[in-house]
Amino acid sequence: MGLLQVQLKGCGTGPSGDHGDRDVEPRRATLLLFEPSAARPLIRSAMIVGRIQLILPTGQQPSAAGAIESAMSLAQITKANVTASVARSHATLLAHWLVREYAHLPVAEFNAEAAAEAQSLRQQLEDAGQSAGVSVRLVEILNGLADGERAVVMAARTHDFSVLGLPDFDASSRHLAEQLLFDSGRPLLALPLSRPFHLRLDTIAIAWDHSEPASRVLSAALPLIKQAKRVVVFSVLGARKFPRAEAAQDAAEYLQSHGVDATWEMLESEDRARGRFIMEAAIERGAGLLVMGAYATLPAQEYLLGGVTVSVLNEPLLPVLMSN
């Protein structure tokens, strides 16, 4: 892995409902804050993945310490450089005198809190990088309240995948995850912030349903899958209409053609909460990472029927790499 990008999104960002500027670059400029003098070269023979974007929203509870630790662990394993892009929200007042009269102090307090938390996250990243022996480069991006998600999604398009910590049942974080899955064209690594976790690549579980999203994420995850000592591919009967019962065997044989020693299983579950069943199956097999497709059915159907992706995004039990 050559370069790891870390994106910090300010608190209070709302849904980016405007899709008219889908391919327009973020409006805010970047400011270089810190660059180590002994940065690693960008091109190395040991490169596994080129660039990763870690997204750390300010104002998020629980804290981002687990996500930062995971990023540094990935950087160590893959010999990556880290680029920390701190996107800080900054609210502005409307020109009307009444708004300026009564909203001045709340807006000033909001901006001060956002700036202080962004500074704290920058310090955590710098300290973590020094402790792990990982080269960290910090960049600050100022965003208005409606700009944060758009900037994050646009940046994700030029990274191999994005990393986002998800607290349980946090609507704002889930919305950002969905924006990344649908609009970035890149996989998303979701981290379970509401419970202790440790991102490991020694054992990887792959939930295979023969869908297009599953195929995309399987291909994108190959560089990480090749680092694993043990890979288990499993399919859940009844989750989709498979061409034949040995669907998981097809995926395992594909991985074997890439030199991966993969095994396969067919699992049965009558439980409609298949997302939790799949995550628990991965944990039972000792996996430190689950790889799966996202939103193989329409999002509306997922919400109405309690689909797998919604279940995972609402309450992740372990690190999950997914793609749409």
Please check the confidence at residue 13 and state whether its pLDDT lies above 50: no
The residue-averaged pLDDT of 72-99 equals 70
For the ranges 22-36, 75-89, 138-152, 283-297, the one whose mean pLDDT is highest: 283-297
What amino acid occupies position 205? A
pLDDT class of 71 with cuts at 50, 70, 90: confident
186: domain range?
3-190
Helix segments in 166-246, DSSP class H: 171-183, 212-220, 222-225
Taking the alpha carbons of 142, 147, 148, 151 in that order, is the dihedral positive or negative?
negative
Q: Quick one: average pLDDT of 18-31?
A: 41
Structural domain includes residue 198: no
Domain assignment present for residue 243? The answer is yes
In a 10 Å sphere around its CB, with 0-12 CB exposed, 13-18 middle and 19+ buried, how is residue 95 labelled?
exposed
Q: Which residue has the higher pLDDT, 213 or 50?
A: 213
Residue 209 neighbours by CB distance under 10 Å: 22
Tell me how far apart the alpha carbons of residues 114 and 187 are, in angstroms, rounded to a whole number.
28
More confident of the two residues 6 and 59: 59
What integer is the mean pLDDT of 220-231?
A: 93
Residues 6+ apart with CB under 8 A from 168: 192, 194, 314, 315
Same domain, 183 and 42: yes
- Do residues 186 and 208 both lie within one domain? no
Closest of 283, 272, 281 to residue 311, by C-alpha: 272
Task: Summarize the confidence of residues 81-87 as an average pLDDT.
Answer: 70
Cα atoms in the 13 Å half-sphere on the side-chain side of 222: 12
Q: Domain check: are 94 and 207 in the same one?
A: no
Whether 76 is covered by a domain: the verdict is yes
- Is 163 found in the same domain as 49? yes
Among residues 135, 169, 190, the one where a domain terminates is 190
Check whether residue 304 and residue 185 sit in a common domain. no
| Greater pLDDT, 58 or 74 | 74
- CATH number of the domain bearing residue 39: 3.40.50.620
Same domain, residue pair 212 and 303: yes
For residues 72 and 173, membership in a common domain is answered with yes
pTM for this one?
A: 0.79
- The 8-class DSSP code of residue 164 comes to E
Q: Which tops the pLDDT comparison, 282 or 29? A: 282
Q: Which two tokens stand for residue 309?
A: 């992706």
Amino acid at 54: L
Q: What is the pLDDT of residue 307?
A: 79
Which residue type, as a one-letter code, is found at position 203?
A: T
CB 163 within 8 A of CB 109: no
Say which residue, 190 or 27, is predicted with more confidence: 190
**pLDDT tens digit sequence for 240-285:** 555 466 789 999 999 999 999 999 999 887 655 788 999 999 999 9
Same domain, 13 and 118: yes
> Rounded to a whole number, what is the largest CA-CA distance in the chain?
69
> What number is the average pLDDT over the span 70-87?
76
Same domain flag for 105 and 171? yes
Please, what is the angle between helix 171-183 and helix 148-156, to 10°? Answer: 40
Last residue within a domain, chosen from 135, 159, 190: 190
**Is pLDDT above 80 for 298?**
no
pLDDT for residue 36 is more than 50: no
Mean pLDDT of the 95-105 span: 62
In this predicted structure, the answer to whether residue 230 has a pLDDT above a threshold of 90 is yes
More confident call, 67 vs 301? 67
Decide if 197 is inside a domain: no
On whether residue 137 sits in a domain, the answer given is yes
Judgement on whether residues 173 and 38 belong to the same structural domain of the protein: yes
Q: Which of 156, 190, 224 is the last residue of a domain?
A: 190
* Residues 6 or more apart whose Cβ sits within 8 Å of residue 3: 42, 50, 51, 80, 81, 82, 83
303 confidence band (pLDDT: 50, 70, 90): very low
Query: Would you say residue 21 has pLDDT above 70?
Result: no
* Same-domain pairing of 262 and 144: no
The total number of structural domains in the chain stands at 2
Which distant-in-sequence residues (6+ apart) come within 8 Å of 97 by Cβ?
A: none
pLDDT of residue 271: 59
141 token code pair:
């991006």
Query: 17 and 144 in one domain?
Result: yes
CB atoms within 10 A of CB 48: 17
Average pLDDT over the chain, rounded to an integer:
77
Query: Quick one: tokens of 198?
Result: 């440790």
pLDDT at res. 244: 60
pLDDT in tens, 180-215: 999 999 999 999 999 989 899 999 999 998 889 999
- Give the pLDDT confidence of 116-158 residue by residue, as tens digits: 888 888 888 889 888 988 877 776 766 654 556 787 888 889 8
